[in-house]
Structure 1
């Protein structure tokens, strides 16, 4: 297989990769080239939740049905909550989807990078059928894959498959954190999703940490 960089285009001579497309929506032609290159099932993989102080990292692997690609696929950060929910429902209904999750305990026992890569590999392994090629948003390919894998920086801006995975992972994690808030209503998990907002810091100062906080993260470690 030729490197994915060949599908994007060469650097401009400055040593930097080419600029991202002006549109927030990935170009369908890019995934078409990936599909042709894979010669089979193309899987997009992304994660949500590396930065929060609480909750798991959630990853998703998505093999889109090329005849039923939802309109408006984009990086989950650029899509409204209502639009994410719509896209999530369409992706689940038409694609082969699997989710991987790295617990707070795993994050604290290893580190956030290793835990994320482990969860990504779990998501790929959970698909109904093994993909031919898995493309990952970011710089890393997890070890132990049963298929070829390549990393794609800013992949959720370039690939519809990775954008779909980012939406699935985001909605799944947001729902999990909202459910968690029912057991810990004082922390506002349903609003900040575990990120280090001022409201979250204030709740920690008043109520202390929960079993769902990442003790290996510096702001939480200081409270111990």
Structure 2
């Protein structure tokens, strides 16, 4: 899945057709927003799609962590609000995004994950892109049901040693109860993966983020796909849908 664009095109020449991912790489730019309800797996898909399209996966959570760890001006502003248990103001978040989208690796596109979450942010991001890179090319919405979301998140267990090591009590059962298969670290249920918190996150999604999805649908840039299946199934589904959309 991480095969180079050059090799993909060489393979395409030999076989007489251009693979789906390579075809998308021939575009001048791919500015894509990732959307989807809690537990849809867009955070998992982002890195895979970024490698296939050769554009960076710009995750809002990662931006916060890197700015706070680097003690940047925006990171320090965000930290003040977080320490008080407050939401970080949109202008701080958008400032981080604006700086990130000025980096050279975003010249030919990006996958923006975690923003916009509401209509005000959507308008602000649209304005930001208008001054930097034009406009969003597509919004990929990974859809799952509320019931599936609960099954995925309530059953998820994360390693305390490395949060990228994830198990699941139904779908990826660890060999030893409560122990990470990768590093033998302890597994735990994240606070935001409890039933109460997941329900609250879905309420926020319906009230604030679904209107954003409808906005981009009305503008003709929304690409809905099912989030049910294996990671590779959904990645292939996303690439196929993007190719159909771009033509």
TM over 0.5: no
Q: TM-score, normalised by structure 2?
A: 0.23
Q: TM-score, normalised by structure 1?
A: 0.25
Which structure: greater helix fraction? 2
